[in-house]
């Protein structure tokens, strides 16, 4: 890794932390609070005053009764222990999307990492260059990629990039193809592979576009909707991964 690549990686990590911990008004996500935090914003946008009668740590151990449920409301969507599965494994709710459309093939995997999701992709069959990469609202491919509809956008915001202040939850920026192959990893915030989470991506679709996404900076209306990423080249439904052999 050369010095420029290292610097870019460092900048991305810094921006990711800022994006993740500072929502509107500088309010932290409720899942990332500490004892000094005075208010927080839950994943569905609701704001709560802190501290509460029950601590976050206590709430994540299990909620019983109306009083405790009300006190623990800020932490409703924070990751909890899922319990042990076969062989002592702990369920992770990882997901996968498999592309097999025309010349385009490959896999995209989604691994929950705290309140973020690590996205790894290995796609062949794309022309060399940058391609818009987005999670779309539906996993309906009855009309091929068209019926997946718009970007996943639970906050009803304008389109942006993976690291911009304003973005759709499904905005993953661009992937780059070289020598007919696109391979890499990125980290997405404000989505989840847990089906019960309000920002769950399970059952939705991921789409690769023909053109480069301008990340909402194109200066026209279409840029604020799709990033002018152009034609939908390939699409795949996001489903749960098996965690052990069948």
Report the b/e string of 89-111 with b at 16+ CB within 10 A: eeeebbbbbebebeebebebbbb
Give me the active site residues, please.
134, 136, 151, 159, 168, 171, 209, 232
Contact 221, 140 (CB under 8 A): no
Edge-first strand order for the sheet with 47-49 is 28-29, 39-41, 47-49
Token pair, residue 59, equals 């709430």
Contact 84, 229 (CB under 8 A): no
Contact 170, 136 (CB under 8 A): yes
C-alpha torsion sign, points 140, 142, 145, 151: negative
Task: Centre a 10 Å sphere on the Cβ of residue 57 and count the other Cβ atoms it contains.
Answer: 8
State which H helix or E strand residue 8 sits in.
helix 3-21
Query: Could you give the CA distance from residue 116 to residue 126 in angstroms, rounded to a whole number?
Result: 27
Contact 121, 106 (CB under 8 A): yes
């Amino acid at each position: 890794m050369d010095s420029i690549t290292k610097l870019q990686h460092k900048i991305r990590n810094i921006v990711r932390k800022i994006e993740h911990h500072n929502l509107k008004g500088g309010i932290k996500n409720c899942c990332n609070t500490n004892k000094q935090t005075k208010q927080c914003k839950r994943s569905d946008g609701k704001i709560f005053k802190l501290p509460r009668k029950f601590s976050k740590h206590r709430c994540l151990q299990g909620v019983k009764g109306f009083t405790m449920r009300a006190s623990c409301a800020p932490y409703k969507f924070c990751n909890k222990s899922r319990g042990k599965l076969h062989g002592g494994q702990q369920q992770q709710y990882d997901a996968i999307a498999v592309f097999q459309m025309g010349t385009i093939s490959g896999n995209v995997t989604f691994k929950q990492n705290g309140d973020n999701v690590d996205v790894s992709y290995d796609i062949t069959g794309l022309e060399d260059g940058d391609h818009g990469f987005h999670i779309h609202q539906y996993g309906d491919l009855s009309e091929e990629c068209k019926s997946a509809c718009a970007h996943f956008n639970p906050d009803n915001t304008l389109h942006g990039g993976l690291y911009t202040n304003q973005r759709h939850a499904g905005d993953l920026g661009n992937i780059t193809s070289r020598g007919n192959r696109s391979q890499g990893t990125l980290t997405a915030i404000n989505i989840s592979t847990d089906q019960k989470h309000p920002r769950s991506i399970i059952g939705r679709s991921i789409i690769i576009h023909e053109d480069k996404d301008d990340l909402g900076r194109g200066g026209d209306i279409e840029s604020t909707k799709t990033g002018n990423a152009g034609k939908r080249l390939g699409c795949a439904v996001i489903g749960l991964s098996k965690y052990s052999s069948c």
